Chain A
Amino acid sequence: MTSESRQRRKKSRVSRPQQYTARKPAVALGALALWSMGCGLLGIPGMGEPGAPGGQGPSSGAAAPSNGGTTTSGGAVTSGSGAQSNAGVVSSSGALSATSGSTSTSGGLSSGGSVVGSSSAAQVPTISSANLRRLSLTELGNSLEALIHFRPGTLERLPAESQSHAFDRVVNDQTISPAHLEAHSAIAAEVHQTLLAGRLLDDVTATCPDAILPPATPTQAVAVVGASMALNPDWAVNTVASDPSVVFTQYAPSPTAGYSHNFLAPGRYDVDLLVEVEGSVDRVEISVDGQVISTQQLPSGMGTLSFTATITEARATPLYFAFYGTDDNLRLYFHVLTLDGPVDEGATLHAAARTACAHAVIDQLGSLAYRRPLSDDERTSLRTLYDTGVVDGGFALGLRLVLEAILESPYFLYLVEAGTPVADRPGAFRLNPHEVAARLSYALCESPPDLALRTAAANGMLSTLEQIEAHADRLLNAPCGRKAVQRFFDQWLMLEQLPTLNKDPGIFPEFTPDLANAMLEETHRFLDELLWNESAQLSSFFNASYSWPNPRTSLVYGFTGVDTTQRRDLPDTRAGLLTQPSVLTVTGRFEGTSPVYRGVFVLDHILCTALTPPPENVDTTPPEPNPNLTTRERWAAHSANPDCRSCHELIDPVGFGFENFDGIGRHRTMESGRDVDSTGGIPTLGFGNGSLTGGAALARAIADSPDLLHCFARQWFRFSQGRMDALSDGTQVNALTAALQTQSVRQALVRSMATDAIFYRVE
């Protein structure tokens, strides 16, 4: 292969993250995971670069750099010249050039205070079309909790979300199946059951006080055959030959019959005993729980003893019938005992109140679920549904149908954004305030709009970028926003895997579930401190010389005698997230480390470098373990094949640089009795192989790289918007990139929401 053709090959193998091309993005994700796996590794979920030009790369005209500082030719990739001085912000059109210190741009991004009241075409920002997105499992759980204040267990019936693009709510990965629909239905049933049985309906609306509800336990009708009753005296008891369920007594003038029923709820129960008398009975005393409650006459022939039993406790309670008489030839046939209850005392009494309750549920829960006021048609339709249910099964069934219709509605299950057409801009739609509120809230909190946001939407107070920014600031700093940001980092850095990660116990006996959780805890503490207390810029997350080791993770660092968690300065072998035990452990392998795996992780997840999978039909068998060689020595020869080398000379130096950390993040200088060589580099950033030594040096280089800002912005876009970024989303991505240059991560995330893009969708 000539050097020129090799150069071309490199171009086709890697592309700079800054470049958006007009070409439909290649979906290389799992392919990349395969590739890393093909090289002997387990897949990195969410690998790949659909938003990037994939195999096309810099050779595409549309991707040509358009502003001065950017050097993106294939040559730069391997030149090691370090030629990346620009802001890293390039859109395909070149129209947008964010400058540091300002969020004002020449694109569709309005400056802070502009009012976007009218839908003029000129103000529609450049954004890509979005598919209708289903709420993720997490979002659905949060939404239900906001509605009904508990989390239905039947959520577990929903299939797990695909995370091919790292995050669990990317519409490109979503599907819908019969199992989903069945789970939605089961959730509605559980919500109904729990609200009624748990007397929780008054948490949904005050119009439904407990007092008007039917009994918590649904009314049961139980039939007990005579043969199941206890009759005395024993010697008098006989069974009817033709129907063994019927028993009778004979020659006993004063027999007794008893039955102990397990009442599931207190309340009034209607009880009937069907008895047939041959002969005469003077009277019958009926007892409930040992108390005589009724004395009745029983003429000869078929008759029914009817009474109401008031049960005060849910437990087994004896019902007892004492027959008194003097007829020695008496025969008493016991047919069946029926119990019906607890009686719904309020069916008539509370009929009006219950209708009011159902209407309130429809209005309040319905509008919360749909995240907007109901239309008159919808209200009428749900009320009709309630009436239909009441006819068949009373209040309980009426409510059930209403809850099913609301909780299985696409208005609840999907983030519906329709909007109204923008004049002169075919395909552009301006969202209504409720849709804007929902978009903002799910983006930052993975949950539906709270009261403040709903109120703002209803009052037209969600139409300027200042108003958006104020709410974004409030939400991001609220518990829901902080939790969402943590989940973003967990998914971006693959930390969700930690609690269930396996390591070879023979090699890493120290790696216990407790240690794994402690690693996660340390990183969460680090993130919390930098995000919310220090208001740090993104670079600090990757070059911080300190962390908050806890007693368990201190052992990984080699600190002794640490019994409290506090900020500690770390040795200069460590710098930021990429050298924390958590990240080094999830990017380590079962039996050790893999330079390819760590290299691909850094390039793909952290720098958004598009890589393509290995060619087919190459032998991708990883090197055999060899107790006499270091990992690096074993891997060094693996890319002799030129097809492999074109990519691996970009990947391997990154992984080699982290070789001074073992599979659970311990610093090492020796492996297999030999010195560890951790010289490496980041060729795609211009740091050629050999120019950087050790993970900390690589991490610091990454921290200073504009590629990091841009990649972070893209990843946050995917997470917060729930879709892959496309060419025309460059405006939003670039706005965040620009903000990250000068502002804290926390400020930048807020700022990134306040662009005109939040008011529109396009098709």
Chain B
Amino acid sequence: MSNQRRTQKSSLAVDRRHLLKAFGSAALALPFLRGLAGQIAHAQVGVGDLRFFFLFTGNGMTPQHWLPTGGATNFTLAPALAPLAPYRDKLLLVHGLEGGSGHHIGMSETTTARPSIGEITDGRANGGPSIDQFLADHWRGTTPLSSLETGVAPSNGSNDQTCYSASGLPIPAIGSALGAFERVFAVTNESPVVAEARRRRRRSVLDSVARDITAIQGRIGASSRALLDEHLTLVRAQEAELMRPYVPLNCALPGSPNIDADSMLQTWQAHNQTIAAAFRCGTTRVASLRVGGWGGAGGYAEFGFENGHHNVHHGGTSDFMGHELEIDNWHAQRFADLLGVLDGVPDGDGTLLDSTVVVWFNELGLGGANNHGRDDVPVVIAGGSRAGFKNNQYLNLGGVQYQHFLYTLARVVSGADISRFGDAGTTLLTSLLT
């Protein structure tokens, strides 16, 4: 091989864009090619089948910005939630839930009902699964992808996590719009014949990987191999997927996000589109979006305000209340964007929003500013009338244990006859249900 050619080779393919350009159409998984026969999916999600989505934003909510005024059904939205007005009839606003420790230590209880053990696990869950993964496991096999975890500027500290596998390992959120889209919709444009042959043969690869894992498991102690054990579980899940019949997907997809459109706004909007399309096409039934971590996201340059959400809530800046409302409002607007997309998709005699239980979590209570506790936790629930959740309601639960709320979600959305969720979620909160 000549030196000249070697030089050319070594300059090759350093970054992704370059690669895409160089091998634009081959077997790389690429931004979606519309109508391609290689796209495969299950077709087992039917009309009215439930989906689940949660949004997580950190730093809690300011009571005067969040709490509605008025009665249970004739309430008026407070300023932070004003952007949700168009979907007011499909909202269930709940507060008065009583949690344990708040903020970074409260992260895990928020979604797993397994509070972190003080400073020992420091906000990382003391086990799993989180509510979304419980449902993903419950519905596993009905969709090509069991769940999709997205984030807008997601922080990746071990106490920033909201999604946990059943084994208690955190599932990271994908912060890139294109990355999330590719997880759901990327296809290879190899011919269907080749794709099918490869899929058939993929099983032998997974067998080989599983064999290697098992060999290592036999040589190191059980306490040293938490990652490896989970890895094997995931390989087995992939194998199970291969056993199921696939059919061509017949579903109009959104355009692929632009890799350069990576502002918080663009990322969130693209995630919304991806999630809505994944729900519509039955590609997955479970998704989540996490903004930053327990300290929120670091900067809001979109509206010329680059200080972080956390600092704003702490008032570490002038006019912090104004900025805080501005950011909370902006979150609500993005949340409303997703509700809008879902509500625009017909599903049987209703819309996809009626079939989707949408929850907006945060890790703090309303009980006094900056106190880091989870007294009086507020939650926004939207849609989900087909699951039996009340719509057009504002309820103060007056101190009911928070974990019962996650139990209620798990039981109602899955329809499974479970007796407990997390450490102590055992009581069905019937006041939330029609």
Contact = CB atoms under 8 A, between A and B. Distances in A.
Given A26-B119, A43-B310, A175-B227, 13 more contacts: A26-B120, A131-B226, A149-B9, A152-B19, A153-B15, A175-B230, A203-B9, A218-B190, A401-B205, A410-B209, A589-B316, A619-B369, A763-B221
A624 B315 CA distance: 7
28 contacts: A26-B120, A30-B158, A34-B103, A38-B103, A40-B311, A40-B315, A40-B316, A42-B310, A129-B221, A131-B226, A151-B13, A151-B14, A153-B19, A153-B20, A156-B176, A164-B158, A177-B171, A189-B29, A194-B23, A198-B23, A218-B190, A381-B211, A408-B209, A410-B209, A418-B216, A590-B316, A620-B372, A763-B223
Interface stretch (A325-333, A384-392, A557-565): A384-392
A288 interface: no
Contacts, number: 298
B28 A193 contact: yes
Given A31-B119, A132-B216, A176 B169 contact: yes
B208 A176 contact: no
A617 B29 contact: no
B14 A616 contact: no
Contacts of B15: 153
Interface stretch (B70-78, B195-203, B242-250, B329-337): B195-203
A217 B26 contact: yes
A521 B307 CA distance: 25
A183 to B, nearest CB: 9
Interface in B175-193: 175-176, 179, 182-183, 188, 190-191
B174 A159 contact: yes
B104 interface: yes
B34 interface: no
B64 interface: no
A175 B172 contact: yes
Interface in A609-634: 612-613, 616-622, 624-625
**How big is chain A's contact interface, by range?**
35 or more
Interface string A30-66: 1101100110111101001000001100000000000
Contacts of A55: 119
Contacts of B216: 132, 410-411, 414, 416, 418
B104 A410 contact: no
Contacts of B174: 159, 179
Nearest to B179: A157
A1 interface: no
A505 B237 CA distance: 50
Interface string A389-409: 100110001001100110011
- Chain A at the B interface: SS class: loop
A502 B298 contact: yes
Interface size class of B (residues with CB under 8 A): 35 or more
Nearest to B235: A181
Nearest to B102: A616
Contacts of A159: 156, 172-174
Contacts of B198: 392-393, 397, 400
B119 A504 contact: no
A153 B16 contact: yes
A42 B306 CA distance: 13
B362 to A, nearest CB: 15
Contacts of B425: none
Contacts of A619: 369-371
A133 B224 CA distance: 9
Interface of A: 24, 26-31, 33-34, 37-38, 40-43, 45, 48, 54-55, 129-134, 149-154, 156-157, 159-164, 171-179, 181-182, 186, 189-190, 192-194, 197-200, 202-203, 217-218, 220-221, 264, 381-382, 385, 388-389, 392-393, 397, 400-401, 404-405, 408-411, 414, 416-418, 502, 504-505, 589-591, 612-613, 616-622, 624-625, 763
| Those 3 A-B pairs whose CB atoms lie nearest each other, nearest first | A153-B16, A159-B172, A418-B219
A37 B311 CA distance: 8
Nearest to A398: B201
Nearest to A619: B370
Given A181-B235, A182-B183, A591 B315 contact: no
B68 interface: no
B212 A30 contact: no
Contact of B104 (A34, A154, A382, A400): A34
A31 B19 contact: no
B234 A414 contact: no
Interface in B299-325: 299, 301, 306-308, 310-311, 314-318
A620 B370 contact: yes
Given A26-B120, A131-B226, A153-B18, A616 B373 contact: yes
Contact of A401 (B147, B176, B204): B204
